[in-house]
Amino acid sequence: MLNDVITMIPVYIMGHKYDVPLGLTILKAMEFAGYRLKRGCGCRGGVCGACVTIYRRKGDYKLKTGLACQTQVEPEMYLTQLPYVPANRALFSIKSVSARDSDVTVLYPEIMRCLQCGTCSKACPMGLEVMDYVAAVMRGDLELAVELSMECLMCGMCAARCPAELSPFNIAMLVRRIYGRYVLPRSPALANRLNEISEGKFREELEKLKRTDQTTLSQMFQDLQAEKGASV
């Protein structure tokens, strides 16, 4: 019956052949094929990086990477998931590092082995210029490294493909933490709001929300969205 209305295509998931409906994302195709995803699935919206998948198209020798929740299956696609990439991660206390780029190279000396080959940028499912942010860190331009790596999902594919055995995403995370703590100007509005929270200004309102039923909460949310839309 399903075949009467939907075009089915063959795909190879972890080496097994399945027929799945054309148009599904890899994530949905895997679930259609019977996989119950405990790992390799999170937000389903392209922001958490949990669903990184390696695939090869029919007739193409190249291995591609993509987010399973964002990439559509294709006929004869071979795919496998890589929900976790073991990668070197330096242990540090943010209080014991400073805003100097030399602290990054002490914690990640292997960064100096970067070959500027661009493999990491090609592997990134977010299309980030990974090689460029690594180069920015090497030059000491932490601000550019933060800017270029801001949308990193921490999926680990750049580290999995790097021939020099770097973990670009973990290096970038360190840089963003250093930048956030030591370089970015403090926001007075944020400090005020944190004070208000710790002084309990919103406690009563939060308690009230916790007692509110689902339907009322949904309506309140919709009203808020409509209000925001009207004020734009």
Please give the helix or strand (H or E) that residue 20 lies within, else none. strand 16-21
123 binds ligand SF4 (CB under 6 A): yes
Stretch that binds ligand SF4, among 11-19, 36-44, 102-110, 124-132 (CB under 6 A): 124-132
Query: Of the candidates 96, 60, 95, 93, which has an alpha carbon nearest to the alpha carbon of residue 78?
Result: 60
Query: Of the candidates 224, 199, 196, which has an alpha carbon nearest to the alpha carbon of residue 209?
Result: 224
For tokens 């193409």, name the residue: 60
> Which of 19, 118, 196, 203 touches ligand SF4 by CB under 6 A?
118
32 binds ligand SF4 (CB under 6 A): no
The answer to whether 186 and 133 have CB atoms below 8 angstroms apart is no
82 binds ligand SF4 (CB under 6 A): no
Long-range contacts of 206-209 (CB under 8 A, 24+ apart): none
43 binds ligand SF4 (CB under 6 A): no
Nearest-approach distance from CB 65 to ligand SF4, in angstroms = 7
The answer to whether 98 and 107 have CB atoms below 8 angstroms apart is no
Q: Could you tell me the two tokens for 84?
A: 């976790």
> Which of 13, 20, 26, 51 touches ligand FES by CB under 6 A?
51
Nearest-approach distance from CB 177 to ligand FES, in angstroms = 22
Nearest-approach distance from CB 122 to ligand SF4, in angstroms = 8
82 binds ligand FES (CB under 6 A): no
Stretch that binds ligand FES, among 35-43, 98-106, 162-170, 189-197 (CB under 6 A): 35-43
Residues 136-155 that bind ligand SF4 (CB under 6 A): 152-155
The answer to whether 98 and 182 have CB atoms below 8 angstroms apart is yes
> Which of 49, 83, 156, 168 touches ligand FES by CB under 6 A?
49
Q: Which residues contact 155 (CB under 8 A, 6 or more apart)?
A: 49, 50, 52, 67, 85, 125, 169
**Contacts with ligand FES, residue ranges (CB under 6 A):** 41-44, 46-51, 67-69
